[in-house]
Amino acid sequence: LTVRKRNFYRSDGRDLTPYHMKIEDFVLDEMVQELESSSDYWKRREAIARHNASNPMVRRGLALTPVKFGISFTATWFNQAGALVHIYRDGSVHLNHGGTEMGQGLFIKVAQVVADALGLPMERIKISATRTDKVPNTSATAASSGADLNAMAALNATQLLKQRLVAFASDHFTVKADDIHFKDAQVHIGAQSIDFADLIEKAYMARVQLSATGFYRTPKIHYDRKAGKGRPFFYFAYGAAVSEVALDTLTGENRIVAVDILHDVGRSLNPAVDLGQIEGGFIQGMGWLTTEELWWDHEGRIRTHAPSTYKIPTCSDRPEDMTVRLWAGGENKEHTIHRSKAVGEPPLMLAISVHQALSDAVSSISGYRHLPSLDAPATPEALLKAVKIEQARAENTRIA
């Protein structure tokens, strides 16, 4: 951990990535310091060292790993989105955008943005499935960009509608535009208030357009793929995780004792959704690094092709003690949707702490003198092989 911290980006000239992008939003130093304290990292490391000194069979390991994850498609042209928003005479709103809902909470986030902009409860916002005959030329819902792109496009459409409504209300009620506010399904117009639906009916009768398309393109980004230089990412998402594991040196079987995660999502659009994404991403990452092995036979046929052989994590694989927190200091320095940050793929990398904790447990066998040769995924077979190597090293050191 000490070496990792010494290699952090800094503002004293150590702020340039290998692809020549200047880091302007680095917060990992603050986050790691906070997680070190909240997880009792150093006390636990001392306790684990004492445990390992007297328990040769079951070794424990601990690791704190930071994550810096760039957000945007490196294929710059994908960083665009469209949206279509209708307001009906009864005050209900229909929303369609280019993002695909696959259980990650995208639709609810985009609907929240529209509801907040119009001062309406969520039940007034209706979302229909993504269709290219409504919003054409959609980008893939990938690269953790779903909310960043589509919520901004939806907000753009909503703001156009709101501008029309404000202009109409200002003229109709003879008040200044600055004195018109949308809140709690009411429109406050100077000293009076009317229902949002009533304003919509009046606007309809006055032939105000109640439908709008929105568009968003991510600013600032550019990348020369041949030169390997540019600014491929709009910003970075950061996180850190502490994982503690127990390893049976006789079989290679292991379990995750405890996990502490601190993740930066900026100003969260929906904390409940983001916490679920972080936890789910971490569990998926556990599988990637410990159980999900791809194996081909000598004829090139993949043999790990079913749940019986390709082993993904189950509910029982969830760490016994798992704490996930959103970083309170998070606020995106870039102008994203309400200063939030993407939370799709970045948490997957937090599971690197599990692999490193297993490596730490193996390393304890030879007195932490060697970095074990431990490939990913760290299956029980791979761990047992690494254990045997470290035991041989320890024996050779003892004889010498």
Q: Which residues are catalytic?
A: 345
Strands 186-189 and 180-183: antiparallel
> Encoding tokens for residue 289?
């690094």
**By the 8 A CB rule, do 111 and 125 touch?**
yes
Residue whose tokens read 């600014």 = 231
The amino acid at residue 105 is G
**By the 8 A CB rule, do 80 and 72 touch?**
no
Torsion sign over Cα 374, 375, 380, 381: negative
Estimate to the nearest angstrom the gap between the alpha carbon of 225 and the chain centroid: 25
Separation of alpha carbons 127 and 146, rounded Å: 15
Count Cβ atoms within 10 A of the Cβ of residue 219 and give its class: 0-12 exposed, 13-18 middle, 19 or more buried: exposed
Residue whose tokens read 């009076």 = 192
Estimate to the nearest angstrom the gap between the alpha carbon of 103 and the chain centroid: 14
Separation of alpha carbons 327 and 238, rounded Å: 10
Integer angstrom CA distances of residue 13 from 24, 25, 88: 12, 14, 55
Give me the phi and psi of 323, to 5 degrees please: -115, 125
| Closest to 362 (Cα-Cα) out of 252, 261, 259, 256 | 252
Separation of alpha carbons 62 and 131, rounded Å: 47
The amino acid at residue 175 is V
